[in-house]
Structure 1
């Protein structure tokens, strides 16, 4: 049967059911078969009533000993069945399910699956599924798939539709993985895997099916990324030439590059001087000096007569890059300009005209850079900072403004290399894993809310008396600049009236105009402000070496990676620096996270722990737009399988980089389908 068949024409579905399935993005038979459960409920283990624990979801076998119905209010009927087994009694509770009292009679032996509510000796089961005892139960004593759903679609419906389709003898899912891979990794067939994920015949069968799907998802994602990267690297790029003036610019810097910076810069220059277009990721911890490497890469581009572009996720970071690049490059006659959303229409038009006429060498900006109106004269290098906040599409859109310009991506979010291969699989990776000399580790102390007064009255004053400055980060309220701005303003009022009436307190938040932010940061840099209260706009890009103390309110509301980024705003000078994390939660997860921050300043360790505690969901919320979804595979939980799949992808790719060999044809077809969002950018044929 054709798996691309429209779902409404599949036997047993029809237009009405198809409409419901469309809500779940199921449009074809293949979409339906690959609509995998998000988890499984094991209803196999029958418990005795005496063994039930509060909040359990459990199966029991019992005899009905009584029933009664009540209507406490209009529109609500409650039916209760009294049941017992040899260990005790329980009540089964049903809301607006009056048919229950006719379907089941006193004396019937039943199987029940439900949620347990236990108070002392009183046991109730709610959300019950009940059936008469038989040799082939339908909804109990089984492993039940639990699907991701939408309003108006039930789990029972989805499960029943899929089972109905799989019972059709014409359904046979053809294998597409090469036979040698199936044998090498002891993988079951795709037909067996799909059938046993939706309707597991046993725990072992489910385990075998899941292993196959997880391996396949990782293998296809990794192979697809290798192919995409290969397609890009085969594109002819600009061949830049060595220029002695680059050494002059480098010598003008007030510091010497670290070995890690040298290594990353050499890899970038080698890429730029090759015939192929560069696609490289520079990954470095907070304060490792990625910006300097970007500055020298842009200088190399300009010295070869081309223009450069640097795209940052926020205006404040774009402005910071603009200031640091202008200070260094202006003496060498390099014109750097800023293009951000807050520019007036008149000023924006001036910038657009000048960049088109090549009067601007380096254009720095936010998303404004990828607007259609922006035309470069001869764009040679595109740099995106904090790439995970953009996507493959946005990067491509910016690079399309030149003829195969080189691409450099920077991130201060350290990601374990295995994960980086997934997140940034189309890029070569350079890692700056060394901090510049003189940078001291930041001492981090986590305290509960009860010690807040002490932190303010003692630590803050001590640092200000030494002539140092302090950041206080406002608690994260929600993703709304207006609400965060209000919270920050209220915090400033509280601090001024209760703690620091005699000190100079400043305020910085996302709702301020660019000019206001600049003015505040300038005052802070010039030591005209003692304490700067800020929202997370200071997470990246702000550099004040005299700031030695950071206090983060409600630290439990931030992710570990974000706490690490924020902490990186201090410790940028030669003075000893501190970070105080004030938390209100008493949960075990909060305690774990706070102690990790106290124990290490290593961003890579922190990101691994973050991933371990939170799981990959939030990590992959930042995934590049356009990549196929991992439906079953879990990056952290299935790390061993991920490594095996990556290893196999390398072997396949080294032998057949375009998957043109006969045994890889089916695999190639599946990868092309999965990567359809970005496949137009890949030349595979």
Structure 2
């Protein structure tokens, strides 16, 4: 039997229990060994009865001081109370539906008890405790008990027993990827000791050293994998060398505004990539309204000047259409032919566009994920651009790139991500940041109000509409939910139709609508036929309506801060004073703190840091959709210090040994390649 053996064959498992373990993601013995506790119950600290606090979990050393009492308040229910004492006082052990328990204890028995304290009406009880004789050393009381995530009627003690069995037989088979010298240099304990102490910690210091070892290894392997993918992309193929002579200066002079220093700096970085023989793989990050699209347009113009086609993929038809219109408007006079490919086009129109693209008659093709279909073929693709990168998986980006021969790759995101986190999510990309907003962007006044002030918010909205402005109202759901006390978009739509009557035209927009319906609603909103647009987060990215100056977010406590910041960026795009009102039912401290952050700052990078801090990375950013593996123990926010160390060490290792060919690095290399083939397999790495 090996680490890769099916969990079914571990002693004590069998087919039925294996099926339950499979639901926890445990398929092999190795999966079980790396199935770490979610928390621990430290049962070593002893207390006296007089010091007990209600609801705390405690361990007591006591003597059984009297006979048991069994009560039967209802049919099929028994409550057995057994008096216990120490030198400071008396309390009761209370057992539910265990009538046999009174036969186990005799007056005068000295026992250890662990359980939760219940103090009511002066009675002190330990409810459903675990217990053992003082002489019994092999018990679950005087220990740190691991608590595992459970499902499907699997008990914690079952998991503990199986993990003990697997560690007993397989611990020595876990591969140690670091040499002894490396472990000394990096101050790491062995992997065997780390895993043993993560499951069954001997104490705080041992646990800390064990966690550090496993978290460091997880981060290091991922970073090495991403760096190797990046270097392989640059090493295996020479990229296109675009001409230095382009029309960028002529284009910039034609604009009615000047680019910010941050925009110019980022374009210089892109130019450097495009004019070199390395394949550009660059992420452009910028806050809402920082002007990323103009950078993309400059890059498209540069590709056209060198005789190459470009492609730009956006997550929604609305955003793709907006990009198409913007590019057409700005590049038409420079001889750039732009076409739009989206699902709602007629088959005849699609075929016509596809033929033109294949013939090289289209310089820039803009579209949704329809672009990655097999029917899309370019004559000479030189540049791929993905907008709102976080809406696409790694695989989709790779598929777009495969449409050309070593095209340069530009990805854009309006979700500001702290650089350290960006290096994890986009480790195969160079990162450019537009950290300056263009002059003239209006400050958006943001107010957080409780649900009982909702009507005042709607009155304020009505005053703005009366002045000729337009408004967004964003809800978290499309339809009413019985399970969640949240306001749905359709419910709000019906409510406001009654409230406003025929005074204003109200529109409804959500993801379940057909693309043609969504486009028509958005077109009517842009043309001010619709004054109030009630929507789900489908309008989160890209939509640009200069006349819309007020946004109300209902149940704002259900949105992430980064998402609220994105939504807020839909207003403040014109000449009018703009407002964002966050209506929330959040009662707890974190909910209030989150709303305060939104009121205080409009800096997306600060907001994303706070979002990570308050909600954690899983909530903030769906890591899995990036093709990045889920960590077994590491947390990209709480373990940020270890992440930074691992990033530096990974760079040091690759500086010394770029292909991990040294003997000391062979086991590291094997683990990195296994990760690449399993999790980062969107890019060929043979």
Q: Can you give the 5+ residue segments of structure 1 that lack an aligned partner in the other structure?
A: none
> Which range moved further: 210-219 or 125-134?
125-134
Inter-partner Cα distance in structure 2 for 1:536 and 1:511:
12
CA gap 1:385/1:121 in 2 versus in 1, 3 angstroms:
farther
* Corresponding residue for residue 590 of structure 2: 589
Inter-partner Cα distance in structure 2 for 1:614 and 1:437:
32
List aligned pairs for 1:310-349, cutoff 5 A: 310-349=312-351
2:60 paired with 1:60: yes
Inter-partner Cα distance in structure 1 for 2:677 and 2:666:
16
Structure 1 residue 159: deviation in Å?
Answer: 1.3
Give the conservation status (yes or no) of the 8 Å contact 1:147–1:158. yes
Give the conservation status (yes or no) of the 8 Å contact 1:550–1:570. yes
Inter-partner Cα distance in structure 2 for 1:327 and 1:343:
21
Deviation string for 1:336-358 (max 9, x for gaps)? Answer: 23333333444444443433333
Structure 1 residue 629: deviation in Å?
Answer: 2.3
Q: Can you give the 5+ residue segments of structure 2 that lack an aligned partner in the other structure?
A: none
> Which range moved further: 11-20 or 239-248?
11-20
> Which range moved further: 160-169 or 637-646?
160-169
Inter-partner Cα distance in structure 1 for 2:20 and 2:530:
59
List aligned pairs for 1:195-210, cutoff 5 A: 195-210=196-211
Structure 1 residue 192: deviation in Å?
Answer: 0.7
* Corresponding residue for residue 541 of structure 2: 540
CA gap 1:2/1:528 in 2 versus in 1, 3 angstroms:
closer
> Which range moved further: 596-605 or 386-395?
386-395
Deviation string for 1:629-667 (max 9, x for gaps)? Answer: 211112222222222222222211222121111211121
CA gap 1:485/1:93 in 2 versus in 1, 3 angstroms:
closer
Select the residue among 285, 300, 305 that pairs with 2:287.
285
Structure 1 residue 283: deviation in Å?
Answer: 0.6
* Corresponding residue for residue 214 of structure 2: 213
Inter-partner Cα distance in structure 2 for 1:682 and 1:318:
26
List aligned pairs for 1:156-305, cutoff 5 A: 156-168=157-169, 171-234=172-235, 235-305=237-307
Q: Secondary structure at the match of 2:438?
A: coil
* Corresponding residue for residue 25 of structure 2: 25
* Corresponding residue for residue 440 of structure 1: 442
> Which range moved further: 29-38 or 417-426?
29-38
Give the conservation status (yes or no) of the 8 Å contact 2:238–2:279. yes
Deviation string for 1:479-531 (max 9, x for gaps)? Answer: 99xx9999323323322332565334333333333333333333333333333
Deviation string for 1:314-352 (max 9, x for gaps)? Answer: 222222222222222333343323333333444444443
Structure 1 residue 396: deviation in Å?
Answer: 1.2
CA gap 1:437/1:110 in 2 versus in 1, 3 angstroms:
same
Inter-partner Cα distance in structure 2 for 1:373 and 1:643:
43
Structure 1 residue 190: deviation in Å?
Answer: 0.8
Q: Secondary structure at the match of 2:282?
A: strand
CA gap 1:486/1:158 in 2 versus in 1, 3 angstroms:
closer
CA gap 1:77/1:451 in 2 versus in 1, 3 angstroms:
closer
Give the conservation status (yes or no) of the 8 Å contact 1:628–1:675. no
Give the conservation status (yes or no) of the 8 Å contact 2:309–2:382. yes
Select the residue among 338, 347, 357 that pairs with 1:355.
357
Aligned-residue CA RMSD (Å): 3.0
Inter-partner Cα distance in structure 2 for 1:353 and 1:471:
40
Give the conservation status (yes or no) of the 8 Å contact 2:283–2:429. yes
Structure 1 residue 547: deviation in Å?
Answer: 1.9
> Which range moved further: 438-447 or 618-627?
618-627
* Corresponding residue for residue 38 of structure 1: 38
CA gap 1:529/1:660 in 2 versus in 1, 3 angstroms:
same
Inter-partner Cα distance in structure 2 for 1:2 and 1:332:
65
Inter-partner Cα distance in structure 1 for 2:21 and 2:373:
37
Inter-partner Cα distance in structure 1 for 2:486 and 2:42:
47
Structure 1 residue 622: deviation in Å?
Answer: 3.5
Structure 1 residue 12: deviation in Å?
Answer: 5.9
Q: Secondary structure at the match of 1:633?
A: coil
TM-score when scaled to structure 2?
0.91
* Corresponding residue for residue 600 of structure 2: 599
Inter-partner Cα distance in structure 2 for 1:307 and 1:337:
12
* Corresponding residue for residue 149 of structure 2: 148
